[in-house]
Structure 1
Amino acid sequence: MAAWSPLVHSLYQLTNLYQGRNGVLILKQYLNGRWVALSIFLALLAGFSIPFNTWSYSEFFALMGRRQPNRVWPEIFAIAGIVILFALIEYAYQRALNRNVAIFNQKVREHLLTADFIQTNQAGVADRLSYLTNDLTMVENNYLRQIFNIIRSVVTVVVTLAFALRSNFGLTLIFIAFASITPFTPKLLAKKTAHRAQQWSARVGRYMTFMADVLKNADTVLHYSALGFFLAKGRSIIGQSVTAQRRRDNTVAASNLVATVVAYVCMYLPIGFGVMMVVRGQLTIAAFVAVQYASNWIVNTFLGIAQSRNQMNATRPMLAKLAAFKALPVNLLRLDQPTDRLGQFTALNLAAVTFAYADDAAQPILQTINLRVHQGEKVLLTGPSGAGKSTLISLLTGMRQPTSGTVQFQTAAGKAFAPDPTMFATVLQESNIFNDTLRFNLTLGRHFSSAAIQAALQKAGLAAYAADHGLDNLIAESGNNLSGGERKRIELARAFLYNRRFLVVDEGTASLDPATAAAIQQILLTAPMTVVEIDHHIAPDLSRRFDAHYALNAGQLTRVTA
């Protein structure tokens, strides 16, 4: 019974992968059923290749024993033809497997594009990119491909065993008894292998973050003659990444070594029994050759199954991370949504709002905040760093929910509804600019009339730039071929084009020169929308132009009077 456990376990692995048991990964959503079925069918056919080679090898000895010359060439040509057929099946199998991998890559990346995977801060970008380039490649090669390889290997083992049993039942049972041990050896180091893989993924993510910092801020590093210090820091980070990879690979190698040693011990001991049976006249040489040749393939195939399972164990942390990413609300994918998600309102009201993180409930960041922003008002929020201004904005826009209190829009008809991030336009210190055309940066792929685009450009002060460069001018990554003011104006033009009624500005002019900052502030103060702006660098004469000015300090909000 133990000899059949690898077959049972392999089939269980297929079910676990495809149906998503144990919450590891629901692969069904990333694969195409017809291509999976075709790959399984071709894997089953390809699995007969080794058993056929085993039979054909023993058949050569049988031909020599029969001494019938007229049968030699017909059988040789027939065997050669079938070998070529199996080569074609192998080619078709590899193509079908590659198609499954391509479908997986397409669908899983589409899923991540529409999941909370994309919701990260600047510090998390490098980690996300590392997951796309490193972790998913491991999932593809060390999990998805290995599943089909296991199916193929199971067929090879079963058919080869059947042939060996037919040749000599007793000796084959001896080989089976020893060979059944090998697939279980990876369990000895499975947990350690998964732990090493997780450590490697974390170290690579840290290295990617470090390199992203260096590449984005290289001028600062060079101008301050700090490259030597960054080299020292980078040497440590690189060393940790390289060491983590070495330890992961060494652990995998150690696991493979254990599996290999056990496999060869389990191969040579049965051979000794077979030789003794031949010497004693209990077995013909032809039968021994058939069983021994078959046993080599049996052991090697069992070893392949064990190594495949070992690779799959190393990939489980990546699968768990993939399963943890949740899809965003489906309504965000609709192309027919109105650009104005808010509509008419009289005020946005925050009543007795308190917020604390769940792991530090005793230390609220905001306490009993009361704020009323009327439609069309321009409101300024100031306060020292760490006072909770950005947290207040996240509550105001519905990105976070208060621990207590309410945040609601109110209408003239007396209705109230909760805010949603899609109702707002935002301008942050780091501009949201795409490596695409000016037109795409404004429309984000949605269709707008030329008149609407021109009107938005005019309101944002970008008409001259658009006239000089054209709407199809390519914007570099992060807007590196634009000035700081041009990047802000693009964001404002986008908000105007989408007819957003509520604009939130979080340190939006902090990195601009005074003249450009003043020009952007003039646009904000005269814009036909409600504006809430966070800025603790604003000049006193400019702050007096806002309809209301609030100061946030130590979690408390107070109104500033002139």
Structure 2
Amino acid sequence: MLTQIRQLYGPHLKLLIGLLATGAITSLDGIVQPYVIGHFTDAMVARKLSFGLTLLGGWGLATLVIVAGSLGFAYTRGQLRQAINFDLRQRIAATAYAPAQTAVGTPHFTAMIFNEVKQIETGVTDSLAMILYCLLQGGLTLAFILGSNWQLGLLFVALGLVPGMIPHLTTNWLQRSTSDWQTANQQYTDLLEETLAARPLAHTYQLEQPLLSRLSTQLAHTEREYFKMNLHQSMAGNLVSLLYSLTFILPLAIGAWFIMQGHLTIGGLLTLNSAADRVTSPLISIVQYTNQLLAAKPLLMQIMQAPSNTLPPTIARTTDAALIQFSQVEFGYNQPLTTPLTFTIHSGERVLIRGASGSGKSTLLATLAGVLPSLGGELAFGLPNWQQHVAVVAQSPFLFHASLRFNLALGRPITDRELIDALTAVGLARFQTHLNLTLGTTQRPLSGGELKRLEVARAILAKRQVLLVDEGLSGLDAASATKLADLFLAFPGTLIEVEHHVSSDLINRYDRVIALAPKTEPKAANASDSVNASPVIQS
């Protein structure tokens, strides 16, 4: 966990130093107040009014410095919390884009960003800040005590820790009595519901007295367990109070002996008593904050794992001029969806992949896009950094809640002239004067077909060489499907399109057709050069 904490806080060393400095100033409260109270008491006993007033004036000034330090600590702590939350949320978002996370749903990452980061804020960021403060206050005050009267000071501190041990010693005892009452209360609740529901039967067979007697017995047992739980809690609380009193009285008695021997003043005793609490309370708090820190450890470890940004190891370069080579490739998420596929696609080809619903067309497209690793066989691409050359027309193209200009350029520096040319090329010229039109999940002035045209425009603007189309013609009438197919086929690069239903006229316009079939069916060894010339792949 120390490695993850170093990674988390390393970029924010200045804030950490600021937290340390302001925490140290704030921690001086554990020294200033006990010191002033003790010396003011001695001054009053000695009737040194002038010195006493000077002490009070110094206390006021010191309080201003301590309050300023406290404000600085709160500010720096807030800045550190903000910076770490920002880093964690950005890290999760970056992890979501890693190839290995492709199949993980969006809700998983949004839950991590909004819920788990908040838990880390409380369990790690805030806990570490408070552990730092407690260490500073406890350490500085302990040094002050040891410098004043180390024997009596250590006695005050040691005895002050005793009451804090009681909750740890009585936890199991109290939990057991609480569990016994919860069990008894649940039994009584079940029996009460059963007894009340049995009233018609009781009236029929005159069972009122036996049923009420049984309920009374269970109620008496429940009340006894409730009494015992409260008694145990009261005993534990009184034991803590008793020990607080004893650990307060005993050091005072010993301190009185020191005073009588001339080794300590009354003010010195008050100083030690007040300062000791500034040591014991932080030590007890450190234990509590450490428990919170350890509880948040699994969340921190999960988020701080480095995302995998490498492409699947099965992806390689083709050995000839081919753009894509499949050699006995199996694809799917957990198990192969088809028998192994073998085919080759060359640059500039128009390839249609057909198959029934559930045959794996979209999954094959994800494999061709390089975002889903194959499950077996040899898959090779003819271009380096394959994903930088591919564009995908999804079944439901994604829109940012932003302007048409941003949805086309996707944040890249592209001139309006280039945007207008791309819109014209894909048949969306009517939007060339509406580049500031807001699109998004709640505002969609584009039809389904126009959304897919916009996706092609994105591919043209990004200068992608390969266009993958996922059911681009589904849900369209014949005339609209033909127009959109014309656009896909006119793409200035390689087209790989998966469709369920395609008219025979359109099929003849593709260079190659690959037909997917269930895994149980046999397949031919190679794809056809055209749908009419040779067998198609059956897989």
Q: Flag whether TM exceeds 0.5 (same fold).
A: yes
Offset from partner CA, 1:262-289 (integer Å, 9 cap, x none): 9877644421322443677877654443
Report the Cα offset of residue 497 of structure 1. Answer: 1.2
The aligned residue for residue 246 of structure 1 is none
Contact 1:395 1:407 in 2 (8 A): no
- Report the 3-state secondary structure (helix = DSSP H, G, I; strand = E; otherwise coil) of the residue aligned with 1:549: strand
* Structure 2: segments with no counterpart, 5+ residues: 172-233, 312-317, 533-539
Offset from partner CA, 1:498-554 (integer Å, 9 cap, x none): 121111112234355555444322211222221111221334443343222222123
1:457 aligned to 410, 420, 423, which one? 423
The aligned residue for residue 408 of structure 2 is 442
- Report the 3-state secondary structure (helix = DSSP H, G, I; strand = E; otherwise coil) of the residue aligned with 1:115: helix
2:340 aligned to 363, 368, 390, which one? 368
* Residues 1:525 and 2:489 are matched in the alignment: yes
Within 5 Å, which residues of 2 pair with 1:237-386?
A: 267-277=244-254, 286-326=267-307, 328=309, 346-355=322-331, 364-386=336-358
The aligned residue for residue 393 of structure 2 is 427
Contact 1:114 1:328 in 2 (8 A): no
The aligned residue for residue 132 of structure 1 is 113
Q: C-alpha distance in 2, partners of 1:378/1:297? A: 78
Contact 1:379 1:547 in 2 (8 A): yes
Change (3 A) 1:75 1:347: closer
Change (3 A) 1:108 1:187: farther
Within 5 Å, which residues of 2 pair with 1:175-254?
A: 175-179=156-160, 182=164
The aligned residue for residue 47 of structure 2 is 67
The aligned residue for residue 150 of structure 1 is 131
Contact 1:142 1:312 in 2 (8 A): yes
Report the Cα offset of residue 118 of structure 1. Answer: 6.7
Report the Cα offset of residue 148 of structure 1. Answer: 2.5
Contact 2:157 2:277 in 1 (8 A): no
Change (3 A) 1:265 1:515: farther
Report the Cα offset of residue 419 of structure 1. Answer: 6.3
Change (3 A) 1:263 1:130: farther
* Residues 1:88 and 2:65 are matched in the alignment: no
- Report the 3-state secondary structure (helix = DSSP H, G, I; strand = E; otherwise coil) of the residue aligned with 1:553: coil
Change (3 A) 1:174 1:279: closer
What TM-score comes out, normalization by structure 1 length?
Answer: 0.70
Q: C-alpha distance in 2, partners of 1:261/1:378? A: 84
Percent identical among aligned pairs is: 24
Offset from partner CA, 1:32-70 (integer Å, 9 cap, x none): 222222222222222222222222222332222221112
Report the Cα offset of residue 364 of structure 1. Answer: 3.5
Change (3 A) 1:543 1:187: farther
- Report the 3-state secondary structure (helix = DSSP H, G, I; strand = E; otherwise coil) of the residue aligned with 2:356: coil
Letter of the 1:420 counterpart: W
* Structure 1: segments with no counterpart, 5+ residues: 1-15, 190-256, 331-341, 411-416
Contact 2:370 2:386 in 1 (8 A): yes
The aligned residue for residue 177 of structure 2 is none
Q: C-alpha distance in 2, partners of 1:186/1:384? A: 65
Within 5 Å, which residues of 2 pair with 1:492-507?
A: 492-507=456-471
Q: C-alpha distance in 1, partners of 2:83/2:65? A: 27
- Report the 3-state secondary structure (helix = DSSP H, G, I; strand = E; otherwise coil) of the residue aligned with 1:349: strand
Q: C-alpha distance in 1, partners of 2:395/2:403? A: 21
The aligned residue for residue 508 of structure 1 is 472
Q: C-alpha distance in 1, partners of 2:453/2:51? A: 86
Contact 2:156 2:251 in 1 (8 A): no
- Report the 3-state secondary structure (helix = DSSP H, G, I; strand = E; otherwise coil) of the residue aligned with 1:350: strand
Q: C-alpha distance in 1, partners of 2:7/2:242? A: 38
Q: C-alpha distance in 2, partners of 1:186/1:511? A: 66
1:58 aligned to 28, 38, 43, which one? 38
- Report the 3-state secondary structure (helix = DSSP H, G, I; strand = E; otherwise coil) of the residue aligned with 1:433: coil
Offset from partner CA, 1:268-324 (integer Å, 9 cap, x none): 442132244367787765444333322333232223222322332332232122112
Change (3 A) 1:134 1:264: farther
Q: C-alpha distance in 1, partners of 2:130/2:92? A: 27
- Report the 3-state secondary structure (helix = DSSP H, G, I; strand = E; otherwise coil) of the residue aligned with 2:339: strand
Contact 1:356 1:364 in 2 (8 A): yes
Q: C-alpha distance in 1, partners of 2:120/2:6? A: 11
- Report the 3-state secondary structure (helix = DSSP H, G, I; strand = E; otherwise coil) of the residue aligned with 2:437: coil
- What is the root-mean-square deviation of aligned Cα atoms in Å? 3.6
Letter of the 1:392 counterpart: L
Contact 1:150 1:308 in 2 (8 A): yes
Contact 2:38 2:270 in 1 (8 A): yes
The aligned residue for residue 7 of structure 1 is none
Q: C-alpha distance in 2, partners of 1:435/1:500? A: 24
Q: C-alpha distance in 2, partners of 1:400/1:121? A: 7
* Residues 1:33 and 2:16 are matched in the alignment: no
Contact 1:355 1:402 in 2 (8 A): yes
The aligned residue for residue 484 of structure 1 is 448
Change (3 A) 1:296 1:409: closer
Contact 1:433 1:478 in 2 (8 A): no
What TM-score comes out, normalization by structure 2 length?
Answer: 0.73
Letter of the 2:369 counterpart: T
Letter of the 1:56 counterpart: V
Change (3 A) 1:98 1:288: same
Letter of the 1:70 counterpart: S
Contact 1:24 1:320 in 2 (8 A): no
Letter of the 1:322 counterpart: I
Aligned length: 450
Instruction: Identify which range, 439-448 or 159-168, moves more after superposition.
Output: 159-168
Contact 1:267 1:295 in 2 (8 A): no
Change (3 A) 1:184 1:392: farther
Report the Cα offset of residue 90 of structure 1. Answer: 1.6
Contact 1:370 1:557 in 2 (8 A): no
Report the Cα offset of residue 183 of structure 1. Answer: 8.8
Within 5 Å, which residues of 2 pair with 1:14-29?
A: 20-21=2-3, 23=4, 26-28=7-9
Contact 1:39 1:96 in 2 (8 A): yes
Q: C-alpha distance in 2, partners of 1:186/1:479? A: 58
Instruction: Identify which range, 107-116 or 88-97, moves more after superposition.
Output: 107-116
Report the Cα offset of residue 100 of structure 1. Answer: 2.2
Report the Cα offset of residue 329 of structure 1. Answer: 6.5
Instruction: Identify which range, 373-382 or 179-188, moves more after superposition.
Output: 179-188
Contact 1:503 1:532 in 2 (8 A): yes
Contact 2:397 2:452 in 1 (8 A): yes
Letter of the 2:408 counterpart: L
